[in-house]
Amino acid sequence: MIRITRRAALAGAAAALAAPATIRAQSAPVKVGVILPTSGVLAVPGQASRRGIDLGARMIAEAGGPRMEVIHADTASRPENGRVAAERLIREGCTVLVGAWDSGTTISAAQAAEPARIPLVVNIASAPQITEQGFSMVFRNFTPANVLIRNAVERIREFGQITGELPRTAVLLHVNDTFGTSIAQAVSALWTQLGIPIQIVETLSYAVTARDLSAEVARAKAANPELLMPVTRVNDAILIVREMVRQDFVPKAIIGPGSPGPYEKAFTDAVGRFGDEYMVCVPWHNPRNPRTAEVLQRFAREYPNERFELNVGFSFEAMEIVADAIRRAGSGDPAALHAALRTTDIQDHIMYGGPIRFDEKGQNNNIGGVMLQNQNQEPKVVGPAEVAEARAIYPLTPFRNRR
Amino acid sequence: MDLVAGVIANGVLMGAVYALIAFGLTIIFGVMRVVNFAHGEMVVIGMYAGYFLWAAFDTHPLAAVLPAAALLFLIGYLLQFHLVQHFLARPAHVQFILFIALALVITGAHLVAFGPNPRGIFSLASFEVYRIGGLRLDAVRSQAAAAALLIVALLWAFLRASRLGRAIRAAADNRTGAAVVGIRIRHVYAVTAGIGMACAGAAGALVAPLFDTHPFLAPEFTLIAFITVILGGIGSLPGALLGGLLIGVAEAAAALVLSPSMKSVLSYGLLILVMLARPQGIIGSPEGQR
Amino acid sequence: MRRGAIAVAAFSGLLALGPLVLDGYLLSLLALAFAFAFFGAAWNLMMGFAGMLSIGHGLYIGIGGYTVAVLLVTFGVSPWAGLPLAGLLCAGLGAAIAWTGFRFAVRGVYFALLTLAAAELARILFEHWPFVGGTGGFFLPALPPGNVPLLTLRGGPEFFYFAFLLLLTAALVLTLAIRHSRMGYRLMAIREDEDAARASGVPVLRMRIAAAALSGGMTGIGGGLFALMNGSLFPNTMMGVAISIEIMIAPIVGGLGTVFGPAIGALFVMPVHELSEHLAQEAGVFGLNTLIYGLLVLLVVLFLPAGIGPSVARLLRGRR
């Protein structure tokens, strides 16, 4: 694994000499503190996020971006460490923070960032409350659960237009953790309001530590839905697919609204072709953007055994947002960075959606959502049409025909 | 009807595997009066053994059981002989912290060595089912349950019939008495710990194709083993079997009736009920209690 | 007793000067260490003195935390009222569990599992209770710019440093007083031999309930302040098995059943956490921190069987 070192960040400084005057005026590199759960139970997404941060820092430095020194802090997946990590990074001279993947840690870090007047760019954290608590230092470039569901519903509607029909009944099967609960609440609040003609006949939740989902899948099958909507993490997505194969449960489609899991490499490695045609509606990189292709190639070269998914993508983009703010602020002064972040307006960026702008609460409302479908064990964008890279397969090929 | 029958049948199959895990915990407690709070970590070591054997040689999942059990036997023997032995006379909370520290070390080592990513075994065998009438039984789970029951039965016979087995039981009944009649107590203890942890390792290899292996699975296994052991009666081997089946079926039934995410409520509820009403466990003897 | 009092005064007096020389990072790190020292001291009252092993103290942290947070956010009740209420509620819970354990003669490992089961049941309940946000979590609003920490009981690193130091000092004083009181001797008699204690007329049930109520109540208050410090609450992180186990490590490492054990343990454990985390980041090896932490705890258990505090004290005495 390639590490971002202070030396690597400094190496970028040489390139910066060729850059515009505002950057050259910058005397010392701006210290960027990154808070992530790289060990403990959230280590999988935490380490994926770190790859995005590291790659972003390297590519920005090589492109002659502002000089940045990335300092990492691990929370060991314990929320109370968010505050301590933020305080430590602030002490080490960081004037902008990035983090912290999970909602509890993000709030904890925000408690330290707020009085210190140090901006916190949230790479990932989906609890709607984060931007509703009145923090003035928080900037979130990730979709809260309700927006995830709005986007997902939009994609499902379009999907119906492409295939000519929509499933009529659905079962929502969700993991009972912070994320799964937010999604389930958003679904129940928005589903009828957005007028989607799919009737949710049953909602089932299972514990995040569930070892065995045979009973859950059996209950979902018994409800005989045309659509299964699993909201999962990666382990349980694997368990669900295995059970569906064994129980020969073949709905017309599997669509996870806002759900992580199936696009991860661990999933496609574990269930192979039985995981094909599984769809999720998530924020994702824009495959049609030439810059995205460049970043993907670079990622594939540096991390040949990993996949570029949304944890990597949004962490990469968080670094771009920070670099952009430093460039416009012309210094690493936190107040100037805060002012610059407020007026962020990035048109060309790798994640699908409109320009990156933050509203008065610090939320970027322009993040789009795509529909992904696993095809040949790779997640492919199948909607919306403007960024699609493959045609959706519908209805689901029965598992027994895939052996 | 098929739904209920299928779910309950799956519960029974899982219960057999829980029983094997609990069997290991209870034999260690029964003989040495030590509660292995790192038992789940031993299961995870077994799972990694199963995974890597499959990854390297593409073996059938069941083929990993013996190597995993042997590995954990060795670990258990050495741990007991060189480390835990010195803690036998210490108070329970010191033993507790010892095992918590061991658990942390094992989890940390797994994370350092293998990373946090879940490792899944992808083989067509893991999607097979047996059909009995309308009932669909998952093949891997059925084989795992059968193997678990076979191991439990073999161990049972070993403890009853063999010289070493009788020595272990003698040591469980009366430590000083066993020493007087010339049983090398330290060796017997180490063998017992080895057997107990080998049960965990074998169970780990059995479940590796069912649950994807990652470093943080362990506490769940430890908890389920505890509940199983208390239900059946601490130190009681048939109790572990009964407890395992009971928990398997109870959780399956709860997933049908309640919201599945609440199914552990039933396990904990049962646990409290048994502790209050029948602390020696459902078929344990009162001396099993401390 | 007098020497103990002098030691407590010196300990707290010295640490009270901390903010003069320490920055926000060290203050918040120490605040966290004090928090765990306080939880450890409360747990120690039950285990170290009364011999009741609780591996479910997360129950009180969680219930205390949620009580304070829900009262504040949902009902607008100040933590000044919320904290004592949390303490009372958790004292009641502690008493109820101790009574249940006693009534049904649940002892030793069984009692430990009873506390664990109670905590896990509460966690699962909270995870399914929409009123407290379920697994979605419960969030406190950000502090307004003109916040007065003494009014809201929320603030920056200095505030929580002093708040937890104050709680810890109170716990040390209380532990010291109990240790040298009739209650303390009775508790220790129960710990050593319950049947003998009963035979010599110790009211075992009353003593056990008192210890558990005191321990639960203190932990509840600490949990309330812990929630105010974190700003968000999740059933899993506030009352899961992980936090229950975490708070036991400091008192055992520091010296079980001693006055200063929990504080010494926490002040040892917290820097170890932080340094090993730093080392792991520098080396780029994730998980190294867990490994180092586990190895250090193992070393302490192996070579300082009574805990750091008593071993150091013996060393000092030996030199004299």
- What is the value of ipTM here, to two decimals? 0.87
- pLDDT for position A26: 52
* CB distance A189 to A146 below 8 Å: yes
Cα torsion for B183, B189, B195, B200, to the nearest 10°?
170
- Chain C partners within 8 Å of A185 (Cβ): 136
Separation CA B288–CA B124 (nearest Å): 44
State which amino acid sits at residue A223: A
Asked if C137 and A112 come within 8 Å (Cβ–Cβ), the reply is no
* CB distance C279 to A72 below 8 Å: no
- pLDDT for position C319: 54
For residue C38, is pLDDT > 50? yes
**Of all helices (H) and strands (E), which one includes residue C44?**
helix C24-44
Residue A144 has what DSSP assignment? -
Distances (CA, A) of C318 to A63, B219, B272, C2, C237: 65, 42, 48, 21, 43
From the list C137, C88, C87, the residue with the least C-alpha distance to C238 is: C137
From the list B246, B204, B177, B119, the residue with the least C-alpha distance to A270 is: B119
In angstroms and rounded to an integer, the radius of gyration of the C-alpha atoms of chain C is 19
Chain B nearest CA to C194, separation (Å) = 13
Asked if A207 and B116 come within 8 Å (Cβ–Cβ), the reply is no
Tokens of B80: 């007991």
State which amino acid sits at residue B100: I
Question: CATH assignment of B2-288?
Answer: 1.10.3470
For residue A376, is pLDDT > 90? yes
Residue indicated by tokens 């260690």: B28
Tokens of A257: 């609204």
Q: What are chain B's partners, defined as 3 or more CB pairs within 8 angstroms?
A: A, C
Three-class SS state of A227: strand
- Chain A partners within 8 Å of C231 (Cβ): 107-108, 110-111, 133
Separation CA A76–CA A20 (nearest Å): 40
- Over residues A17-32, the pLDDT tens digits come to 344 444 444 568 999 9
Tokens of A19: 């850059």
DSSP result, B133-185: TTEEEEHHHHHHHHHHHHHHHHHHHHHHHSHHHHHHHHHHH-HHHHHHTT--H
Which residue in the set A44, A211, A219 is minimally distant from B211, CB to CB?
A: A211
Helix axes B65-82, B185-207, angle to 10 degrees: 140
Other beta carbons less than 10 A from residue C144's beta carbon: 9
Q: Domain limits of chain B?
A: 2-288
Separation CA B30–CA B243 (nearest Å): 16
- pLDDT for position A3: 43
Q: B106: nearest CA in chain C?
A: C291
- pLDDT for position B74: 97
Q: Does B89 touch chain C (CB under 8 A)?
A: no
Separation CA B44–CA B217 (nearest Å): 7
Three-class SS state of C307: coil
* CB distance B37 to B96 below 8 Å: yes
- Over residues A303-316, the pLDDT tens digits come to 999 999 999 999 99
Three-class SS state of B274: helix
- Over residues C227-274, the pLDDT tens digits come to 999 999 999 999 999 899 999 999 989 988 889 999 999 999 988 888
Separation CA A30–CA A328 (nearest Å): 13
Rounded to two decimals, what is the model's pTM? 0.89
Calculate what percentage of chain A has a pLDDT beyond 90: 65
Residue A25 has what DSSP assignment? T
* Backbone φ, ψ for residue C224 (5° rounding): -60, -45
- Preferred mutation among C38, C131, C274, C277 to probe A, highest tally of A CBs within 10 A: C277
- Chain A partners within 8 Å of C69 (Cβ): none
If you average pLDDT over each of A160-164, B56-60, C35-39, C298-302, which comes out highest?
C35-39
For chain C, the average pLDDT equals 90
Separation CA B213–CA B117 (nearest Å): 8
Asked if A206 and B116 come within 8 Å (Cβ–Cβ), the reply is no
CB-count exposure of residue C80 (10 Å: 0-12, 13-18, 19+)? exposed
Asked if A43 and C287 come within 8 Å (Cβ–Cβ), the reply is yes
* CB distance C190 to C207 below 8 Å: yes
- Altogether, the residues listed in chain B come to a count of 290
Query: One digit per residue, pLDDT tens: chain B, 290 residues?
Result: 578 888 889 889 999 999 999 999 999 988 888 889 999 999 999 999 999 999 998 888 789 999 999 999 999 999 999 999 989 888 887 888 899 999 999 999 999 999 888 888 887 777 888 888 778 888 888 999 999 999 999 998 998 888 888 888 888 877 677 766 667 888 989 999 999 999 999 999 999 988 889 998 898 899 899 889 888 888 788 889 999 999 999 888 888 888 888 888 888 888 888 888 887 777 766 544 43
* CB distance A285 to A320 below 8 Å: no
* CB distance A245 to B127 below 8 Å: yes
Distances (CA, A) of A376 to A265, A402, C198: 12, 12, 72
Residue C45 has what DSSP assignment? I
Beta carbon pairs, A and B, within 8 Å: 109
- Chain C partners within 8 Å of A87 (Cβ): 23-25, 27-29, 157
For chain A, the average pLDDT equals 89
Separation CA C14–CA B251 (nearest Å): 54
- Altogether, the residues listed in chain C come to a count of 320
In angstroms and rounded to an integer, the radius of gyration of the C-alpha atoms of chain B is 19
Using CB atoms and an 8 Å cut-off, which of residues 29-58 of chain B contact chain C? Answer: 35
Residue A398 has what DSSP assignment? P
Buried b (16+ CB within 10 A) or exposed e, C167-203: bbbbbbbbbbebbeeebbebbbbbbeebeebeeeebe
Distances (CA, A) of C256 to A187, B97, B187, C51: 50, 12, 32, 10
Average pLDDT over residues A322-338: 94
Separation CA C308–CA C72 (nearest Å): 39
* CB distance B123 to B210 below 8 Å: no
Distances (CA, A) of C21 to A115, C159, C204, C303: 19, 15, 47, 34
For residue A97, is pLDDT > 70? yes
Asked if B118 and A399 come within 8 Å (Cβ–Cβ), the reply is no
Residue indicated by tokens 């349950």: B145
- pLDDT for position B15: 93
Strand partners, B138: B129
- pLDDT for position B210: 86
- Over residues A242-292, the pLDDT tens digits come to 999 988 999 999 999 989 889 998 899 888 899 999 999 999 999 999 999
Other beta carbons less than 10 A from residue C2's beta carbon: 7
- Over residues A353-366, the pLDDT tens digits come to 999 999 999 999 99
For residue A374, is pLDDT > 90? yes
Residue indicated by tokens 């280590």: A43
- Altogether, the residues listed in chain A come to a count of 403
Q: Which one is predicted more confidently, A86 or A25?
A: A86
Tokens of C156: 């920056």
Residue A285 has what DSSP assignment? B
Contacts of residues A218-223 at CB distance under 8 Å and 24 or more positions apart, as own/partner, are: A218/A243, A218/A247, A218/B3, A218/B6, A218/B7, A218/B10, A219/B3, A219/B7, A219/B255, A219/B256, A219/B260, A220/A171, A220/A173, A220/A249, A221/A247, A221/A249, A221/B3, A222/B3, A223/A169, A223/A171
Chain A nearest CA to B124, separation (Å) = 8
Domains of chain A: 6-142+287-342 (3.40.50.2300), 146-282+370-402 (3.40.50.2300)
Q: Does A208 touch chain C (CB under 8 A)?
A: yes
Pair type for strands A370-375 and A279-282: antiparallel
Q: B251: nearest CA in chain A?
A: A215
For residue C1, is pLDDT > 80? no
* CB distance C55 to C116 below 8 Å: yes
Separation CA A126–CA B57 (nearest Å): 42
Separation CA A218–CA B7 (nearest Å): 7
Separation CA C63–CA B252 (nearest Å): 29
Nearest-5° Cα angle at B102, B97 to B105: 125
